[in-house]
A and B are shown apart, each in its own frame.
Chain A
C-alpha cells in the first residue's frame, strides 16, 4: 500500500521511495527504505505526518501517494 492510505497511530515500514532527491532527503531525516515509522497524523485530503525518533515530518499528499509502505501489526 502507499503512505497516504495509512491510519493514525499505525506503525509502518517504508518500502520504496521512487524519487531520488526525496529518497536522499528522507535518509537524512532517518526515513530510509526499511525504516519503521509511526503515522502520527493524517490531515483529511492533506499531508500525512510521519513520526520517527523524536521528530515529525509532514509529507504532502501527492508525495505520500508515491511512497510504498507496509503496515506492521
Chain B
C-alpha cells in the first residue's frame, strides 16, 4: 500500500501551503527523516520531512502551487511495491479506514503543476517574461552587471533561450537609461520626439524615433508572506485606534559614544548601529512604562513579563521583497553588543534563508527604522498584538537651538504609533520623555 504525503500543518495558523521546491523527483528513494520539500507557510519557508522509507512514485503538486493543508501532494511506494503501479486512486484513503489523528482527508484532485518553461526548438529564442512565477533565469555575468548598475532584474525581459537574461539585455538597459536620462523598469518603446533645434541638426522638422523606457502593465503573483502582511496590517489599521506622537532627540552624544565604542571594539568585531542603541533604550524605557509592553485582549489588558523587541527587517526586492519582524528576546537584559550581534545575525538569516516561526514570534513592541535610507520622518502601523511601534528616521545634521544659541547639531525624529485602548497621549509623552533622556545621555545605556 502506498503512502500519501499531504500538505502538513507547519504552524498553528497555517491553512494553505506552497511547495517552493521539491528536493526529490519521481523515482528517487527516500529514507525516513529526509527533507523532501521546502514549503512556504503564512509565516516562513520550512522544510518538510518524510516519515517513511520508500520510493517517490508520484509528485501530485508542482513547485509554486498553493494547496490547502491536508491536500495529497505526493505518493511514496513502500518497500517491495512497484512505483509504477502506484496511482492517484490509491491516494484516496477509504472512508472506512481506521481513523488516525493526522489522517489525510480524501485526496483532492491534484492541481495542475506550475507551468514549466516552454521548450522551444525554434531557432529564435522564445522570449518569455523571466519574472514569471517560476525561477528567474539569469546568466551569472548578467546578474553581476545588474547588481553593479542597479538594474532591477524583475523588470528586464531576457532575450536568451527560455527567457534567460543575458549580458546584452543588461547592457542595453544601462545604455537606454544613460541616453534617455532615466532609470527603472519597463520595456523600451519607440516614441517620436521632436528633434531639438541645433546647428548640427538638419533643417527639417522630421521627428526622430528614440528608444526610451516605458512602463508595462503586468500582474505580480503574491507570495504567502505578502498575503500575511496584507491581512495582518489591514486588520491592525482597521481595528486598532491608531494615533501618533512625535519627538525629536538630540543625537550628538549618542553618535559620539557610538564612534568611540566602535573604534575601541573594532578588534573584537563589534560594530554598533544607531538602531542597536534605540532597541536598548526602548527596552529599558518599557521596564519603566509597563503599558508599553502590553496587549489589548478584548476586556482586559495583558501586561507582559518579558520585554521582547521586534526589529523590522526589509527583504531584498530581487527575492520578492516584503518584510519580517525579528524578535530580540529579553532586550532589556541584553547589552548593546549582544543586541547588535543578535540583530545582525537575524537580519542576515532573514535575507538569506528566512527566519523560523520562533524567531519572528512573541514580540511585545516593534521598531521600524528607515534612517539608513535617509528618511527624516514617517509613521508606522502597529504590529498586533503590540500596543506601540516606533518609527525612526535618520540622524540629520541641522540648525538647532542649544542653550539659547543657534548651533549645528544632530537630530533624529522618533514617531510613536499607539493603540489608544491601552496607551493614552500623556502616557506616550512620558514614555518618549524617558526615551529622550536615555538617548541624549547615552551612558545610561551602557549600564
Whether chain B is bound by chain A comes out as: no
B residues in contact (CB < 8 Å) with A: none
A residues in contact (CB < 8 Å) with B: none
